[in-house]
Amino acid sequence: MKSIRKLIGLFYNKTALVFVVFFFFSLPLFSINGPLNLRRGCKAFNDSDVVIKWNQPVDVCGSFQSYHIYARKDSFSPFNLIDSVNLVTQTQYTHKGAFLLANTWQYFIIIHYDCSGQPTISSDTITIDLTQTAIQLIDSVSVDPISGKYTIGWKTNTSLDLAGYKIYSVSGANNIIIGDVSNSTKLFNDLNSDPNSNTRTYSIAAYDSCNNITAIIDKHTPILLSVSFDSCSRGFSIMWNSYIGFAASRYEILASINGGVYYTLKTINGSLANYKESVSDAAFQDGDNVCFRIRVFGTVTPLVSSTSNTVCYIINFVKQSAVNYISQINVISNSKIQIGWLTDDYNLISKLILQQSIDGVNFKLKTSLIPSQNNITILADSLQTNVLIYYYRIIIYNTCNQIQDTSLVCNSILLTALKTSSISNKLNWNKYNVFDAGVNSYEVFQGTGDPLFGHTFSSVNTTLPDSIYYDDNFFPQNILNDGVCYYVVAIENSGNRYGVNQAKCKSNEVCVPGSLVVYFPNAFNPNSQYIKNTVFKPSGVYIDYPNSWLKIYNRWGELVYETNDLLLGWDGKDMNGSPLPSDQYIFCSLIASLNDKDQNIKGIVNLIR
């Protein structure tokens, strides 16, 4: 037998085969029921040792003496005896530190015994098993309606050597083992999950008897459902995340009222889902306990599905504020407006939003107001009350933080004045139409003054409610530097149903005559922290903005920007909205005057970035 082993070792030295098949002559009688079957050569858990395993042979006559374990590092090396084991019941051996040297080790075992004249039997030869099992996929992850926990389901792995499955919770790039189950298991209930608070991402891997684990390529994130109730519209807002793990053919919103059977309230195409739906049902009544679930279906037959967590809500219809009224809009300077409003029960209001517009159609958020039964706020952020009419409305949000009501649109009064002769000025203003009791009259105030000491006014006329013109032919005897100045006040009729006693709304102040004064800056920076320096536009007095224009040319005389809106100005971009580079640009502008000759102005402006 020793000579045979030497020949075998010589054979291994001269070949590059991984596996060697040993043939033996038949013997008349074996006391060991062999040959020995080596099952696996595995990398140990510590990534440094190699563990070989075998089946225990049947010792017919009790003649077992020892296992002699032979190994070599690769196919080009000779086999060497590395150890012997004297217990017949031992069925595995750890080759210390072997894997640190190579992953190509080969092993065989010779059994030594004393019976029937045959002293040894050799095993087959094995290498280290590094072959992974087949890739394992998850079918779906659902919330178990009984336990309320996430349940992961999968199909049995097709690998012949399958020891079990490891289930992972995925956190970022980390896969954290939360379960290790046998190869006969196809479900795992994550008892540490809380589907009502947060969703989890799961993955799975199959492993064999050498603990070779499949690569993790399949990750599933189940649905987390949240529900909010709109007490004002008596509807529910249903929100959820998309199911990650399989393509969705459809999502079904399921509902149950007071513990009844779940029914499909709404079905959403999986490719069109935005994961937020507003739903309501005439069957929903005040005090009902309504429960919701989301069920998603896959696209591949047979269809897989997943059910979300269950969210229940007791319907509670609430009262709403009935009053939302802007009582007055007063222009208090060329850049400031004062607004007053009324609400009846501010305890039913979560917030008030004041919106502003310059055309009465397109509104933008101006500020948030503090809910109160009677309040006034002053807007002071460089408004141009002597040029534009400002429109306002207030939006009330109820205690569900949903829009309850939008007030009537109220406008400021824009007064303009034009010198028609040396002894006559013509005043014109827009109507104020939103007093609850209507406009009683407009009172015209006249005065004079200068920038240093301000203006002194007195009432000179009261017009009818439909009048928006006034011709002033009686000027003050001593007209100061600002010329003759005016403002108009709209006065409400009596009988306001909200208890307001003849509210008054004041216009801007305007002065005539005066020479046109225009100033263009010589540089601006669109990225400046100073807002006034981010746009190139003129400033001055007596400018007729609607009839003026501005054109910008580059150093080669090419028109790069033009506008008929001097208030908009130039923000350093071309007409396509693309930023222009830092450079000197030529501007040309026609400045129309309100009460003087128009001016054509040309110059150079530096665009700085």
**Count of other CB atoms within 10 angstroms of residue 209:** 16
Residue 557 phi, psi (nearest 5): 80, 15
What is residue 541's predicted lDDT score, i.e. its pLDDT? Answer: 55
What confidence tens digit (pLDDT) does each residue in 305-360 have? Answer: 999 999 999 998 777 788 899 999 999 988 899 998 888 877 888 888 999 999 99
Q: Which of 403, 405, 351, 411 is nearest to 375 (CA)?
A: 351
Residue 353 lies in a domain: yes
Question: Both 450 and 507 in a single domain?
Answer: yes
Question: Both 551 and 587 in a single domain?
Answer: yes
Picking from 287, 314, 341, the residue at the C-terminal end of a domain is: 314
Picking from 379, 411, 443, the residue at the C-terminal end of a domain is: 411
In terms of Cβ atoms closer than 10 Å to its own Cβ (0-12, 13-18, 19+), residue 540 is middle
Q: pLDDT band at residue 603, thresholds of 50, 70 and 90?
A: very high
Question: Both 419 and 404 in a single domain?
Answer: no
Question: Both 14 and 112 in a single domain?
Answer: yes
What is residue 9's predicted lDDT score, i.e. its pLDDT? Answer: 42
Higher pLDDT, residue 382 or 488: 488
Whole-structure pTM over 0.75, yes or no?
Answer: no
What is residue 13's predicted lDDT score, i.e. its pLDDT? Answer: 39
Residue 495 lies in a domain: yes
Residue 67 lies in a domain: yes
Pairing assessment for the beta strands 364-369 and 80-85 based on DSSP bridges: unpaired
Provide the 8-state DSSP code for 547. Answer: G
Six-digit token string for 546: 């609607």
What is residue 595's predicted lDDT score, i.e. its pLDDT? Answer: 59
Provide the 8-state DSSP code for 593. Answer: B
* H or E, element range at 487: strand 484-492
Do 308 and 195 touch, CB atoms closer than 8 A? yes
Check whether 23 has a pLDDT greater than 50: no
Check whether 298 has a pLDDT greater than 70: yes
Share of the chain above pLDDT 90, in %: 60
Name the average pLDDT for the chain: 87
Higher pLDDT, residue 19 or 287: 287
Q: Say how far apart CA 159 and CA 156 lie, in whole Å.
A: 9
Q: pLDDT band at residue 230, thresholds of 50, 70 and 90?
A: confident
Question: Both 536 and 586 in a single domain?
Answer: yes
Check whether 12 has a pLDDT greater than 80: no
What is residue 164's predicted lDDT score, i.e. its pLDDT? Answer: 95
Q: 98 — alpha (psi -120 to 50), left (phi > 0) or beta? A: alpha
What is residue 562's predicted lDDT score, i.e. its pLDDT? Answer: 97
Q: Say how far apart CA 66 and CA 71 lie, in whole Å.
A: 16
Residue 132 lies in a domain: no
Q: pLDDT band at residue 417, thresholds of 50, 70 and 90?
A: very high
Check whether 450 has a pLDDT greater than 90: no
Six-digit token string for 136: 């394992």
Question: Both 87 and 23 in a single domain?
Answer: yes
What confidence tens digit (pLDDT) does each residue in 109-150 have? Answer: 998 887 655 677 888 889 999 888 899 999 999 999 999 999
Picking from 411, 443, 465, the residue at the C-terminal end of a domain is: 411
Residue 159 lies in a domain: yes
Q: Say how far apart CA 136 and CA 156 lie, in whole Å.
A: 8
* H or E, element range at 101: helix 98-101
Q: Say how far apart CA 577 and CA 322 lie, in whole Å.
A: 45
Q: Say how far apart CA 486 and CA 571 lie, in whole Å.
A: 34
Q: pLDDT band at residue 363, thresholds of 50, 70 and 90?
A: very high
Q: Say how far apart CA 33 and CA 477 lie, in whole Å.
A: 135
Do 330 and 372 touch, CB atoms closer than 8 A? no
What confidence tens digit (pLDDT) does each residue in 564-577 have? Answer: 999 899 999 999 99
Question: Both 229 and 216 in a single domain?
Answer: no
Check whether 153 has a pLDDT greater than 50: yes
Domain encompassing residue 545: 517-607
What confidence tens digit (pLDDT) does each residue in 486-545 have? Answer: 999 999 999 999 888 889 999 999 988 655 668 999 999 999 988 889 999 998 655 778
Q: Which residues contact 50 (CB under 8 A, 6 or more apart)?
A: 41, 42, 43, 44, 94, 95, 98, 99, 105, 128
Q: Is the peptide bond before 513 cis (omega within 30 degrees of 0)?
A: yes
Question: Both 433 and 373 in a single domain?
Answer: no
Residue 133 lies in a domain: no
Question: Both 14 and 110 in a single domain?
Answer: yes
What is residue 92's predicted lDDT score, i.e. its pLDDT? Answer: 93
Check whether 16 has a pLDDT greater than 60: no
Share of the chain above pLDDT 70, in %: 89
- What amino acid is encoded at 300 in this protein? V
Q: How many domains does the chain have?
A: 6
Question: Both 114 and 19 in a single domain?
Answer: yes
Residue 584 lies in a domain: yes
What confidence tens digit (pLDDT) does each residue in 30-86 have? Answer: 445 556 788 889 998 898 999 999 988 887 677 888 999 999 999 999 999 999 999
Question: Both 207 and 248 in a single domain?
Answer: no
What is residue 117's predicted lDDT score, i.e. its pLDDT? Answer: 56
> 67-104: string of b/e by CB count within 10 Å (b at 16+)?
bbbbbbeebebebeebeeeeebeeeebebeebbeeeee
What is residue 513's predicted lDDT score, i.e. its pLDDT? Answer: 67
Question: Both 15 and 116 in a single domain?
Answer: yes
Q: Supply the DSSP string of 396-433, one letter for each residue.
A: EEETTSSEEEEPPPEE---EEEEEEETTEEEEEE----
What confidence tens digit (pLDDT) does each residue in 395-411 have? Answer: 998 887 878 899 999 99
The pLDDT of 419-437, averaged and rounded, is 88
Check whether 555 has a pLDDT greater than 50: yes
* H or E, element range at 6: helix 2-13
What is residue 409's predicted lDDT score, i.e. its pLDDT? Answer: 94
Q: What CATH number corresponds to the domain at position 290?
A: 2.60.40
* Highest-scoring range by mean pLDDT, 16-30, 56-70, 444-458, 580-594: 580-594
Six-digit token string for 510: 């305007």
Q: What CATH number corresponds to the domain at position 143?
A: 2.60.40.10
Residue 319 lies in a domain: no
What is residue 85's predicted lDDT score, i.e. its pLDDT? Answer: 94
